[in-house]
Structure 1
Amino acid sequence: MWSPRRVCVPWRLGLRTSKRSTLLVALLWFGTWVFFSGLVHRTMFSDLCTDEKSKRILQGVCEEYIRGVLTGDLCEELCVSRQVEYQRCLYYENGKKVIEAKWRGVPIVLKSKLENFSSYQALGPLDYQEGAGGGPSPWDIVLYATLEIRSSLGLEVGGDGGAWPWGREWTPGGRQRAYSRAELASLWSLLQQEEYTFFRVLENLSRHVAKVLGSCGHFYAVEYLVTGRAWSWNLFSPEALLRLPREGLGISAWSSTSRSGKDTVIRIALSFLDMVRHFESDFSHPLHLCDIKPENFGIRRDLTVVAIDVDMAFFEPKMQNILEQACTSDEDCNFFDCISKCDMKENKCGSKRVNSNLQVICDKIFRHWFSPALPGTRKELPLEVELQHAVHDCAETTGGDDKARSQAVFHRLQTLLSQLLQDEDAQAQTDRHSQTETDA
């Protein structure tokens, strides 16, 4: 069956082919686009994801803020000064709400795992009489937050550089006053959201994780990024990248606005490799991504790849617990994109993953970009052919538990992409020089 992700490379679009093959490709592309765009439209913009309902949910948040039920550093601007302006609903499924907004004119994304503040489990120490004996100290909350993070991530707090998930005022040496019921309840609702906890713990340790910008009750704001689109030839829209803010709210600026399509793809691919290396080596435990698809990654203006949906991201200790399940065949040991092998004697899945983040990215991302050219297009350059073979080998070869083999595959891809980027830069300089001479 014809598969669009295996035959097209973005920068090859528009190359000459025969009229018949061009028409055939166009018809196949149009049919595929209609199918996938319709599928995405139905999924991302279902009847439940409406502006009316989204506005009503945020209005409910503001009403609870006014009553003193919840609080947060974004509440005043969301509910009083209205500097956080609603734009549209992006996603709504099983209670998870994702909303686009503008904060002081800059796009942001508001997220919550559950729709209502009351849906989150209450924090036990809040069952006290305010004013009679006082509430829990900041150190009590540190203890409860630590236990929650250990449970949700399988990672020791502070084990990766001492990052604390609740902001500077909650760290040792910060303020020591008693916290209000609304503050503690709001913090606890956020810590029950694995994605929020993940971002908070890692945002100062990783450039490949979305930045948390603030919160109001159970909703938290993250930076707005260009997300991937599985139904598009070009997974990340260059036009959308140009519309991202150049500065403000801690969002980095684009270093160049005149890159070619090929140059952009190579730089994004190199950033994917940097993310793979970083998640594998730079924390106390490797970080496994078990749901790798374009929609779960975003791109900043500087072409940094960012993990934006980490509901299925697990550090090694929790990954081992997930994989160790009863089985009768290897198929029983497939946990989305993370797989292990079944021990037929013990009827138990192995605790070690046998594939890797790199292998899945090669299969689901890189093959889309670095596949053989369509018949009738220009002759392949030697480096491009070698890269195609390297991506194929990476995607088809298991062995995530073989460190030496994985590193060899990684360095081969990195070297080829870097060489292609150098060639592209050299060609761009030659073209600019020729244009200058022509203008003169």
Structure 2
Amino acid sequence: MARAAGSRGRPGRCGLRGRCGRCGRGALLACAAWTAGWVLAAALLLRAHPGVLSERCTDEKSRRILAALCRDYRGGALVGDLCEDLCVAGKLLYRRCLYFERGKKVLQADWRGQPVVLKSEEEAFSSFPPLGLLDGQPDDGGQDFPEAELLLLAAGEVRSALGLELANGSLAPLGLGRRGPRRRGQLASLWALLQQEEFVLLSLLRGLSPHTPPVLGSCGHFYAVEHLAAGSPHHWALFPLDGAPRGDRSRARAVSGMALSFLDMVAHFDHDFSHRLHLCDIKPENFAIRSDFTAVAIDVDMAFFEPKMREILEQNCTGDEDCNFFDCFSKCDLRVHRCGAQRANSNLQLGLKVPSHSHQRVLWPSGHPVSAGDHCHRHQPLGKKPDLRSA
């Protein structure tokens, strides 16, 4: 009885029953707010550091990927002008894994003594959607595949990837006219490559831009580009100066030459094509410097011609923060709650941001800072603009 009386006299944790209900709701709200806070923090972390959830880049995994590629080649599922060197002759040799990020695989290799980079947006050839028109055809089929139909399909992929309507003659760099004994594998490989926006862009710019690496060849869904040492905030001048003569003045000339080449690159992307090419992911790791100090955009996953850029930016919004796409942004029109299709910042503004990663100013040997005005008279167009029309 004493225990019972004590039980009746002691209030519960929340007091009266009604208070307990309010306390429970408050605890639930607090828990929800706490969870939302952690979700927001995680989202911001992934926005700033998308590699956090990247797959671990290892030699073992990289070698397995290339072994599977060669099995598919020997089985006739895929072909490419680099497959024989990679899978049979031993003239394309794996060296190391560079990075795995958001599914993309990037490996370093030596091709006949030349360092190259092998890239693919997916690990396995089977991860890419197949070319439906090959369904039901025998393994040696595809020889009679209408070229006009292939051009139509390729043009549709270019339109989807880049937002451009290209004449048939402009599609030649994609290798559509190549024919061989394994036509089915050839078409399947080409189709896998056409699903990769960076491959399409770099292929079409081959011979038109000194500021992008040319595609050197492919095997199945992997394609090769020249290997260049990427920039890093850990370098004194953002990029290695191994080829520069020793001495402060010589290095100062090299640094100012690199800065001018970056400005050349910006002007080139802004003016030398029928549509401006927007760079939306500006960081040292996405650029490199050739031995002649030419700036090169080595990762153009986030590079878009004007029509595609407008399509990306023109979205619903409640504020300007909804109109940000990596380093490219526009303004929110609150009257219609739509982001403006016109980009609000520029390649030049972002290009000048690159040296700031190392917290230094790039100077002329005389000590004067490089500016866009100093650069303007140096830029020379590369000739007739390529016919890149919007869709």
TM (norm. structure 1) is 0.68
| C-alpha separation in 2, matches of 1:369 and 1:223 | 29
One-letter amino acid of the counterpart of residue 294, structure 1: P
Is 1:154 the equivalent of 2:163?
A: yes
- Write the distance in 2 (CA, Å) between the matches of 1:273 and 1:362: 8
Task: Using the TM superposition, name which of 56-65 and 222-231 deviates more.
Answer: 222-231
CA gap of 1:341–1:186, structure 2 versus 1, over 3 A, is same
SS of equivalent residue, structure 1 residue 141: helix
Alignment correspondent of 1:411: 373
User: Which residue of the partner structure matches residue 200 of structure 1?
Assistant: 203
1:142 aligned to 131, 137, 151, which one? 151
TM superposition shift of 1:315: 0.5
CA distance in 2, matches of 1:301, 1:234: 15
- Give the letter aligned to residue 274 of structure 1: D
User: Deviation string for 1:313-352 (max 9, x for gaps)?
Assistant: 1110111111111122222212111111111211111110
* Residue number among 235, 241, 245 corresponding to 1:238 in the alignment: 241
**What is the distance in 2 between the residues matched to 1:345 and 1:151?**
30
Q: Do structure 1's residue 317 and structure 2's residue 279 form an aligned pair?
A: no
- Equivalences, count: 329
Of 296, 306, 317 in structure 1, the residue corresponding to residue 286 of structure 2 is: 296
SS in 1 for 2:223: strand
CA distance in 1, matches of 2:353, 2:194: 34
Which residue is equivalent to 2:322? 332
Q: 1:50 to 1:372 in 2, by over 3 A?
A: closer
1:118 aligns with 2:118: no
Deviation at 1:108, TM superposition (A): 0.6
Partner of residue 61, structure 1: 69
In 2, Cα distance between equivalents of 1:62 and 1:132: 21
Residue 137 of structure 1 deviates from its aligned partner by: 2.1
Distance 1:181 1:124, change over 3 A: same
> Equivalent of 2:225, from 212, 215, 222?
222
Aligned to 2:98: 90
- Specify whether residues 134 and 216 from structure 1 end up closer, same or farther in structure 2 by C-alpha distance, changes over 3 A only: closer
| Residue 232 of structure 1, CA deviation | 3.0
Sort the Cα spacing of 1:341 and 1:43 in 2 relative to 1 into closer, same or farther, 3 A.
Answer: closer
Give the structure, 1 or 2, with the largest relative contact order (CA under 8 Å, sep 6 or more).
1
Q: Quickly say closer, same or farther: Cα 1:43–1:354, change in 2 above 3 A.
A: closer
Q: Shift of residue 179 of structure 1?
A: 6.5
Q: Does 1:77 align with 2:39?
A: no
Retained in 1: the 8 A contact 2:130–2:191?
yes
Measured in 2, the distance between the counterparts of 1:370 and 1:88 equals: 32
CA offsets, 1:180-217, max 9 Å, x none?
Answer: 11000000000100000010011121111111111000
The root-mean-square deviation of aligned C-alpha atoms, in Å, is 3.1
Distance 1:122 1:166 in 2: 18
Secondary structure of the corresponding residue to residue 384 of structure 1: coil
Computing the radius of gyration from Cα coordinates, the structure with the larger value is 2
Q: Deviations over 1:34-84 (max 9, x none)?
A: xxxxx99x9699772110110011011001111111000000000001100
Aligned position for 1:280: 270
1:91 Cα shift?
Answer: 0.4
Asked if the contact 2:54–2:101 (Cα under 8 Å) also holds between the matched residues in 1, the reply is no
| Pairing 1:374-389 to 2, within 5 Å after superposition | 384-385=367-368, 387=369
Distance 1:371 1:96 in 2: 33
The SS at the match of 1:226 is: coil
The alpha-carbon distance between structure 1 residues 163 and 154, as it changes in their structure 2 partners (threshold 3 A), is: same
Residue of structure 1 aligned with 2:187, choices 184, 190, 209: 184
Q: Is the 8 A contact 2:76 2:182 kept in 1?
A: no
Q: Secondary structure at the match of 1:227?
A: coil
| Contact 1:212–1:221, Cα closer than 8 Å, also in 2 | yes
Return the letter of the residue paired with 2:109. Answer: A
2:59 counterpart residue number: 51
CA distance in 2, matches of 1:265, 1:156: 39
Residues 138, 163 of structure 1: alpha-carbon distance in 2 compared, 3 angstrom cutoff? closer
* Fraction of identical pairs, as percent: 51
Aligned partners of 2:79 and 2:182 also within 8 Å? no
Q: Quick one: structure 1 residues 274 and 134, their matched pair in 2 at CA, closer, same or farther if it must change by over 3 Å?
A: closer
Matches of 2:58 and 2:229 in 1, distance apart?
21
Matched residue, 1:364: 354
- Secondary structure at the aligned position of 2:174 is classed as coil
One-letter code of the match for 2:367? E
What is the SS of the residue equivalent to 1:234? coil
Structure 1 letter corresponding to 2:71: E
Residue matched to 2:18: none
Amino acid aligned to 1:86: Y
Q: Tell me the CA shift for residue 95 of structure 1.
A: 2.0
